[in-house]
Structure 1
Amino acid sequence: MKKQWETFSSEETEAIGEKMGQAAKPAQVYSLDGDLGVGKTVFTKGFARGLGITEHVTSPTFTIINEYLGRIPLYHFDVYRISSEEEMDDIGYEDYFYGHGVSLVEWATLIPNLIPKDAIHITIEKDFEKGDDYRRITVCQGEEA
């Protein structure tokens, strides 16, 4: 499975996230990668809305993980400041990844050995030649990523 979308506003990016959140199932892990400021948190806000989450969604940059309750729990990780995979053990990441909720991991490329083989990989990219608000969102599952 490989899908790709082009968006031209943060609202469109959020809408793609919402569609994916509506389809999310318990114990799924989503890796979410892209440069700083590309819209990972914007995407996550839509994803959370798709899970029925109404509270304000923020990036867990300094807390590493934010938990939200919706039709299924959302575990929103930001591992940008993780210095080793052992730190993820200290957090108890396995309880989240293999639990009853859905895990969305920003900067997942920093912990490649911990991401399950069947994870859904999302990459968000900018292309300034197509405009400041342009984003290309690519979604692959498992080994295709």
Structure 2
Amino acid sequence: MAAAEPPEVVRSAGPQDTERVGARLVRELHPGAIVLLCGDLGAGKTTLVRGAVRELGHPGRVTSPTFTLVNRYAGGRVPVSHLDLYRLGAAGLDEEDPALLEEELAGDRIVFVEWPEAAVAELGPVAVRVELRHAGGDAREIEIARTGGGRG
């Protein structure tokens, strides 16, 4: 088994840079890829997804799925599902919606998962893990670890 490559660390000066990182990242992904997004509240997870969704040519607004659990974006080159599992916390998926992940992980889309800790065991092979950290003001440090897993 080949060793995983070391994580890439990118510095973002603000939201536009973070969107550009998302756009660049999604160019390497294929349907079935799962991307875990980790970081504190306000670290830029949804901003990164916005850049990815726009790069794929999806029309319309990109917002956080905190209260809906999932936002789906169609109409671009590849469908995207953006999940936010923050509200599930320790309860996990079983109590909320056991079919949620099964539907979203069908393999025909790229899936971004914020706060994946609530369902990490159910996610299966992950293609990329992204950690976003506050670095003062609007700056962010973004660590991208390509795991080689997933279908992306």
- Fold in common (TM above 0.5): yes
Match of 1:137?
142
SS of match in other structure, 1:95: helix
- Stretches of structure 2 that go unaligned for 5 or more consecutive residues are none
Distance, in Å, in 1 between the alignment partners of 2:81 and 2:50 is 12
TM-score by length of 1: 0.88
Q: Summarize the Cα distance change of 1:120–1:84 in structure 2 as closer, same or farther, 3 Å threshold.
A: same
Task: List per-residue Cα deviations over 1:28-71 (Å, max 9, x = no partner).
Answer: 00000100011111111001012111210001111100110121
Instruction: Determine if the alignment matches structure 1 residue 106 to structure 2 residue 111.
Output: no
The size of the alignment, in residue pairs, is: 141
Q: Report the alpha carbon displacement of residue 21 of structure 1 after superposing the two structures with TM.
A: 2.0
TM-score by length of 2: 0.84
Match of 1:48?
53
The correspondence of residues 1-145 of structure 1 with structure 2, limited to 5 A, is 1=5, 2-69=7-74, 70-82=76-88, 83-87=91-95, 90-128=98-136, 132-142=137-147
- Stretches of structure 1 that go unaligned for 5 or more consecutive residues are none
SS of match in other structure, 2:94: helix
Greater mean alpha carbon deviation, residues 49-58 or residues 112-121: 112-121
Amino acid in structure 2 at the alignment position of 1:99 = G
Amino acid in structure 1 at the alignment position of 2:86 = Y
Q: Report the alpha carbon displacement of residue 114 of structure 1 after superposing the two structures with TM.
A: 1.8
Tell me the percent identity: 30
C-alpha contact (below 8 Å) 1:20/1:50 kept by paired residues: no
C-alpha contact (below 8 Å) 2:19/2:47 kept by paired residues: yes
Distance, in Å, in 1 between the alignment partners of 2:43 and 2:54 is 19
Distance, in Å, in 1 between the alignment partners of 2:45 and 2:110 is 16
Distance, in Å, in 2 between the alignment partners of 1:107 and 1:84 is 11
Task: List per-residue Cα deviations over 1:4-44 (Å, max 9, x = no partner).
Answer: 10011110011111111222200000000100011111111
Distance, in Å, in 2 between the alignment partners of 1:87 and 1:96 is 17
C-alpha contact (below 8 Å) 2:36/2:126 kept by paired residues: no
Greater mean alpha carbon deviation, residues 3-12 or residues 87-96: 87-96
Q: Summarize the Cα distance change of 1:109–1:51 in structure 2 as closer, same or farther, 3 Å threshold.
A: same
